[in-house]
A and B are shown apart, each in its own frame.
Chain A
Amino acid sequence: MTTQEQTTPAIAARPQARRGRSPQRLVVAAVAVVVALVLPLLVPGWLGLLVIAGIFFLIVLGLNLLMGYAGQVSLGQTLFMAIGGYGAGLLTLRWHWPTLVAMIVMAVVSAAVAAGLGTVFLRLRGYYLALATLGLAVITESLASGLTGFTGGPSGLVGVPSLRLGTFDVFSDQANYYLLLVVCGLGAWFVGNLQRSQTGRALSAIAADPAAATMLGINAARYKTSAFVVSAVYASLGGSLYAFYLRFISPEVVGVTVALSIVIMLALGGARTIVGPLLGALVIQGLPEVGQSFASWSPFVAGVVLILVITYLPRGIWGAIKKAVQR
């Protein structure tokens, strides 16, 4: 009996260690980096799509931490996208703040809002949390189109400047692509490290069984709120970058449909991984680009694909690929 208890954690820990620094993984990572670097030269026509997909990758990565690891469903990530997007847009447009400062300030504001909302909202469980956060998404869209004097109403905020780094304007698709490559790389690195850390295991424990996690001395409320805060910062940065890239933001950009599609991207690609969110963002953003005649089909196809993936591929597309490769 005792031997069994001792060996079980050892078995569980082995794949964890192997995942860390194996030569194959380093090679795969290096190839991925090279491909990402030369991609603009290979498919210059697809850069716009890649930039948008990159922005959503960032937002979905943040949600992954909250939903994938901590198991808390949030349908309201657009609130933080809106804070980041509209906040940065207004600060730069009306008060001529430097773009980078505006982006960082709004990320801090989002973190504060998430910390405040999180302590209240994350007491709700399952469906009730989903409902409350869906309420946030509805409020976000309504405020964006209702506060006409502030947000420009339904027609949106026009003339947002591009992001300025020092003396360089991140204006072209290519510049935005490389910027997002760096930001998403850092974001993925952070989430990846967190996943393998004590915090990641604590979050997984909370998702699996909150009561048991509390008995092990994990402060579930604090961890859940932290995950919510981090997801809000990701969404806020994504929202700011989106506004700077489009040089425009409107209620449609932060609508309820977008809020749902962020969750769809995570479920589709595969939660609890880094590649999953990227795949999900590429598929959902890429579908309308497949062809002119296909564009009108893409919402329908996205819905059907989501149903099929959730039903038959519980770990998402990436989970299914990994399983197939391991076999």
Chain B
Amino acid sequence: MSGLIQVLIGGLADGGVYALIALGVSLVYSISRIINLAQGGFVVLAALLAVSIQQWLGVPPLVTVVIVVPLFALLMAVVERLVMAPAAARATPDRMLLVTVGLLQAIGGLLLLVWGNLPYTMQPFSGDTAITIGGVRIVSQYLWIIGALVVTVAALWFLVQRTSLGLTMRATASNPEAAALQGINVGRVRLIAFSLAGAMAALAGTTVIPATFLQFSTVTPYAVAGFIAAVAGGLGSTAGAVVGGLVLGLLQGLFSRYTSGDLAQVIAMAVLIVLLLVRPTGLLGKTSEVRR
């Protein structure tokens, strides 16, 4: 029994990372109707950058979060202006998906160029400590991952529901044209949404790298997992992204206890495809989102 709980906790930690990716995908989608498949790629990029920064500067791993998160908020704003905005002005939504596939490919290529094809990891934030509750060992880094998720969700909720910027974001999400007519600078709101997604990607990358090994080829699994979590939860829904991510992580963890990791992946995908066919709005999405 404790073995099962152990596996589920590992799954939950993975799911926390998927949820962070899905939150970024979902936020960008709700403001701009762009599904950014490259979000998972930015996570790996942030993670490997954190490893290098940690090595160059010799700072404690936790400090890299403070450096990489603002850096990626800026980077994603640049990406929005250089890549997304010109493309979105010309391409249909279906083709925008291919633009983000190109972006994902470019990120993977960049990782291969700069970091080579070796896997990287980093020291955990609070050392190799672990908490043991009733025979279940919880690696301290898992708590950092879940903590990062909780902080992100709380901050996002506060921003969207309690600030005037959040109000303009909600207005843009529900109807961009009407928002523009009200005097909202829709382009600026989109820039902010991408920037926030960049910060989330960096937070996910820097907190997960001490708990795992990442390399250029891990961009695709992360991108796919984040994309699937966002859609399974319901695109545009914050709670949906979190639930989608955690459920995906738990499913993978649960099945990997009874079968190999590969077959666990198959079952998790099959469950999600069935979910999609039976309830295409996702777990917590609204029907109006799908009919668009």
Q: Which chain A residues have a beta carbon within 8 Å of chain B's beta carbons?
A: 71, 73, 120-121, 123-128, 130-132, 134-136, 138-139, 142-143, 145-148, 256-257, 260-261, 263-264, 267, 296-307, 310-312, 314
Residues on B with C-beta less than 8 A from A296 are 112-113
Nearest-neighbour CB distance to chain B for A95, whole angstroms, equals: 25
Assess whether A131 is in contact with B231, with CB atoms less than 8 Å apart.
yes
Tell whether B99 is near chain A: CB-to-CB under 8 Å.
yes
Q: Which of B91, B107, B220 contacts A310 (CB 8 A)?
A: B91
For chain A, what secondary structure do more than half of its interface residues adopt (helix, strand, loop), or is it mixed? helix
Assess whether B93 is in contact with A127, with CB atoms less than 8 Å apart.
yes
Residues on A with C-beta less than 8 A from B87 are 307, 310-311
Q: What would 4 more interface pairs be, CB under 8 Å, given A256-B220, A267-B95, A299-B112?
A: A132-B273, A136-B273, A146-B265, A303-B108
Assess whether B98 is in contact with A300, with CB atoms less than 8 Å apart.
no
CA distance A139 to B273 in the complex (A): 11
Could you tell me how many residues of chain B have their Cβ less than 8 Å away from some Cβ of chain A? Answer: 47
Given contacts A73-B97, A138-B265, A311-B86, contact A299 B91 (CB under 8 A): no
Residues on A with C-beta less than 8 A from B101 are 260, 263-264, 306
Residues on A with C-beta less than 8 A from B270 are 135, 139
Q: Which of B98, B217, B259, B260 contacts A306 (CB 8 A)?
A: B98
- Give the contacts of B265-282 with A (CB-CB under 8 A): 265-266, 269-270, 272-273, 276-277, 280
9 closest A-B pairs by CB: A300-B109, A303-B106, A146-B262, A306-B102, A303-B105, A299-B109, A307-B102, A142-B265, A311-B87
Given contacts A138-B224, A296-B113, A303-B102, contact A128 B83 (CB under 8 A): no
List 21 A-B residue pairs with CB atoms under 8 Å apart, sorted by A's residue number. A127-B97, A131-B231, A135-B272, A135-B276, A138-B224, A138-B265, A138-B269, A139-B265, A143-B263, A145-B262, A146-B262, A147-B263, A148-B260, A256-B220, A297-B113, A302-B109, A303-B105, A304-B106, A307-B99, A310-B99, A312-B90
Residues on A with C-beta less than 8 A from B35 are 127
Q: Which residue of A lies closest to B96 (CB)?
A: A310
CA distance A127 to B94 in the complex (A): 7
Given contacts A124-B276, A135-B269, A260-B101, contact A298 B109 (CB under 8 A): yes
Assess whether B106 is in contact with A307, with CB atoms less than 8 Å apart.
yes
Assess whether B102 is in contact with A310, with CB atoms less than 8 Å apart.
yes
Q: Which residue of B lies closest to A127 (CB)?
A: B35
Residues on A with C-beta less than 8 A from B261 are 146
CA distance A256 to B105 in the complex (A): 12
Tell whether B103 is near chain A: CB-to-CB under 8 Å.
yes
Tell whether B228 is near chain A: CB-to-CB under 8 Å.
yes
- Give the contacts of B78-94 with A (CB-CB under 8 A): 83, 86-87, 90-91, 93-94
Residues on B with C-beta less than 8 A from A143 are 262-263, 266
Q: Type the 1/0 row for B212-249, where 1 means its CB is closer than 8 Å to any CB of A.
A: 00000100110010011001000100000000000000
Nearest-neighbour CB distance to chain B for A117, whole angstroms, equals: 10
Assess whether B262 is in contact with A124, with CB atoms less than 8 Å apart.
no
Given contacts A120-B277, A124-B276, A135-B269, contact A314 B95 (CB under 8 A): yes
Residues on B with C-beta less than 8 A from A261 are 105
Residues on B with C-beta less than 8 A from A301 are 109
